[in-house]
Amino acid sequence: MRKLQRKRPMAMDKSSSKYRTYFWYVAMVSFLLWLVLLYLFNSSVKTVHNHERLFRQENVIDLPVHVSQQNHESDQAVVSNVDNITVPVTGNGSSQEVQISEDAKVVSDLVEELEKEDVENVKKRGDTAWSRRSTRSRGRHRESRRTRSSDKRMVRPNNDDENNVDNSDENHQSLDKEPNFFEPRNDVTSKKERVDDNNVVESKQKTSNNNTSKVNSRISAKRNRPKVVVRPRVTRRNDPCRGKYVYMHDVPSLFNEELLKNCWTLSRWTDMCELTSNFGLGPPLPNMEGVSGWFATNQFTLEVIFHNRMKQYKCLTKDSSLASAVYVPYYPGLDLMRFLWGPFPSMRDAAALDLMKWLRERQEWKRMDGRDHFMVAGRTTWDFMRTPGNESDWGNRLMILPEIRNMTMLLIESSPWNYHGFAVPYPTYFHPSTNAEILQWQNRMRRIKRRYLFSFVGAPRPNLGDSIRSEIMDQCKASRRKCKLLECVSGSQKCYKPDQIMKFFLSSTFCLQPPGDSYTRRSTFDSILAGCIPVFFHPGSAYAQYIWHLPKDIGKYSVFIPGKNVKEGKASIERVLSRIPREKVVAMREEVIKLIPRLMYFNPSGKRGDVGRFEDAFDVAVEGVLERVEGLRKRIEEGNEEIFDFPERFSWKYNVFGNVEKHEWDSYFDRR
């Protein structure tokens, strides 16, 4: 009895002391948590205030890029910028060696500075056209978001692209930035503004060029570097990978894996965890027409798919001295997605700037100033072209960073006016693991009965003045039994189901692909996959984009009807299409079906080794990059002062035709 009594208080004592420790433990943890939160808050505030300064402690160091950028914005002359950077550096040389390396730094800073100026000028020229549009579009976007919030679709703004019917809402906005051909050209004030702007740019450029050449000669006097490119080490002659080796940078996981690990932070509306599963293919779908290999793939996950495909690339090397090209496995679109609607616009650039800093310190970068590097983004160019100095503008600045401008950037839609952007196909729903699946599918597509002459899936764009979508929909409705229309009004679930969409394309001979918010549509690739012959209304929708993937002879696999003729009611789509002879249609369809493998992405979880496999969109893209890099290498070796010998705004033309001579498509890409 006594024992028991004694025991009880002891037990209580014990447990209460246990609770006390526990309490202290909890208190400690909450205190630490508070500290961490405080730190995070502090640094995020810092980030916001410091604009492009990065959020991590180490990044608070001055980056020359940013310095120059800021100077830039204050519109200083190039020379004074240069001097400002030069002074602190040279002022501190103690030993000869330090001096030399610092000289190199000065030089690279100078060059960068000049590059920047060029970028800015180019950008400015382009932006004048955009700027008048953006005000309007921004208003429109806000409006559209408001309307949306009242309907259920608002919950998932990505619906459009998910269904691949169209570009995403996000694209929607970004497209608005496009120097648009839809825009009516009777806006007198904006025209005047534009002209003024151009003059300013022109005169500014003249002086800067003048100055530039002076600085340039200063640079070459300073550095006595011969124009020798460090070529990749040559392997034996019968090496199948000769000239095809690719080195993949081991970038910090912050830039890729961790984005996936924290997939729930990527989007407020869409379950990106589900969509980035399965190597980026998304959740599997049931067989279609008895063929396996289908997934509910979202276009934004191209970055993940590409990365995983690269991991099994047959000529991937761990030895960078062998590599002809260097892949940077960063997920720029997923990264940007986190902050597109967030309150801290500067965060949209943070990781990208961070990565650029990291890249420039690599020995691989120094070989060719990054000219042999490439990267992939599952978004359109317009999401990465924010006007410098305007944080309320859409997107981030990735595509105008000097490092990126030295690289090759692969995107689902490129800008026709950029040197460094190249379009690769949108991912579709089909990701076979074997050749057999492809062959099976191709055979199905040859035999399937197509009830309709043509079809259109999509939504009208009443807000875009020059959009031809409403005309197309009217024409489709008018030719009742020949055309099938799937109007994507909000709430219609049909547009959002992969199998419904595919069935739709499977039942048509021709599929209309008018521009939407931007030139390109994912629907183009889904319809080609279904063996449906694409009908384009603008050369920027495919011909001037997917130059590596689509045949040069556009008439072999597609029909082109100038959008202007449709808009003005001069072209009857039904008449144009029904006049094409039957044999020609069959030949075109066969061409389209043959294109299927190179426009889709193989399942990255398939067996390593591509022996005997069809070339998929990934293979074709890597080949395109290798070829481009080799061309740049040659030009640098030849000692060309200018790496590109054509004006940047003609990039589309040069890429398509190999020259910049006058062409009938010029008016489609006119920026004035």
Ligand X SMILES: *[C@@H]1O[C@H](CO)[C@@H](O)[C@H](O)[C@H]1NC(C)=O
Helices marked H in 302-429: 302-311, 332-337, 347-360, 363-368, 402-406
Q: Which is nearer to ligand X, 116 or 153 (CB)?
A: 116
User: Quick one: which of 43, 81, 346, 415 contacts ligand X (CB under 6 A)?
Assistant: 81
Take residue 212 and report the two structure tokens written for it.
């530039």
CA distances (Å), 446 to each of 257, 287, 521, 590, 596, in order? 41, 18, 24, 7, 12
Under the criterion CB under 6 A, does residue 17 sit at the interface with ligand X? no
Q: Which one among 76, 121, 144, 463 touches ligand X, defined by CB under 6 A?
A: 76
Among 2, 5, 94, 662, binds ligand X (CB under 6 A): 94
Using the rule CB under 6 A, is 648 a contact of ligand X?
A: no
**Residue 32 or 643 having the CB closest to ligand X:** 643
Side by side, the strands of the sheet bearing 483-487 are: 483-487, 452-458, 508-513, 533-536, 559-560
Are 47 and 350 spatial neighbours (Cβ–Cβ below 8 Å)? yes
Q: Which stretch binds ligand X (CB under 6 A): 72-80, 243-251, 514-522, 576-584?
A: 72-80
Tell which one of 66, 138, 145, 556 touches ligand X (CB under 6 A).
138
For residue 22, give both structure tokens.
Answer: 């526990």
CB of 360 to ligand X, least distance (A): 6
Contacts of 467 (CB under 8 A, 6+ apart): 182, 460, 461, 514, 515, 516
H/E segment holding residue 107: helix 96-150
Residues 327-386 that bind ligand X (CB under 6 A): 360, 369-370
Binding status of residue 392 toward ligand X by CB under 6 A: yes
Residues 247-306 close enough to bind ligand X by CB under 6 A: none
| Nearer of residues 215 and 577 to ligand X, judged by Cβ | 215
Kindly state the number of chain residues that form the binding site for ligand X, as judged by CB under 6 A.
33
Work out whether 312 is an interface residue with ligand X (CB under 6 A): no
Is 77 near ligand X (CB under 6 A)? yes
Please tell me whether residue 88 binds ligand X under the rule CB under 6 A. yes
Mapping DSSP to helix (H, G, I), strand (E, B) and coil, where does residue 408 land? strand
| Distance (Å) of CA 301 to CA 51, 275, 337 | 28, 7, 11
Q: Which residues have CB under 8 Å from 49's CB, separation 6+? A: none
Q: Which stretch binds ligand X (CB under 6 A): 110-118, 237-245, 437-445, 453-461?
A: 110-118
Neighbours of 411 (CB within 10 A): 27
CA-CA distance, 172 to 142, in Å (whole number)?
Answer: 11
Q: Does 79 bind ligand X (CB under 6 A)?
A: yes
Residue 133 phi/psi, 5-degree rounding, is -75, -40
Residue among 339, 459, 415, 469 nearest 177 (CA): 415
Please say which residue, 343 or 581, places its beta carbon nearer to ligand X. 343
Nearest distance from C-beta of residue 522 to ligand X, angstroms: 25
Binder among 43, 71, 381, 414 for ligand X (CB under 6 A): 71
Question: Do the Cβ atoms of 567 and 585 come closer than 8 Å?
Answer: no
Quick check: 593 and 583 in contact, CB under 8 A?
no
* Cα torsion through 348, 349, 351, 352, rounded to 10: 130
Select from 335, 393, 437, 619 the one that contacts ligand X (CB under 6 A).
Answer: 393
**Judged by CB under 6 A, does residue 86 bind ligand X?**
no
166 sits near ligand X (criterion: CB under 6 A): no
Residues in contact with ligand X, shown as a per-residue x/- string from 604 to 643 under the rule CB under 6 A: ---------------------------------------x
What's the CA gap between 620 and 312, in Å, rounded?
A: 15
Distance (Å) of CA 470 to CA 167, 453, 455, 461, 656: 17, 19, 14, 7, 30
Residues 206-235 that bind ligand X (CB under 6 A): 206-207, 210-211, 214
Q: DSSP string covering 19-41, please?
A: HHHHHHHHHHHHHHHHHHHHHHH
Contact call for residue 112 and ligand X (CB under 6 A): yes
Which tokens hold the place of 86? 């030069």
Helix (H, G, I), strand (E, B) or coil at 523: helix
Rounded to a whole number of angstroms, the minimum distance from the CB of residue 62 to ligand X is 11
Q: Give the nearest distance from C-beta 212 to ligand X in angstroms.
A: 9
If one asks whether residue 135 binds ligand X (CB under 6 A), the answer comes out as: yes
Q: How far is the CB of 440 from ligand X (least distance, A)?
A: 47
Q: Which is nearer to ligand X, 393 or 526 (CB)?
A: 393
Q: For ligand X, give the closer residue by CB, 139 or 283.
A: 139
Considering the complex, what minimum distance in angstroms separates the CB of residue 624 from ligand X?
A: 20
* DSSP β-bridge partners for residue 248: 327
Residues that bind ligand X (CB under 6 A): 71, 76-77, 79-81, 84, 88, 92, 94, 108, 111-112, 115, 134-135, 138, 206-207, 210-211, 214, 360, 369-370, 387, 390, 392-393, 402-403, 406, 643
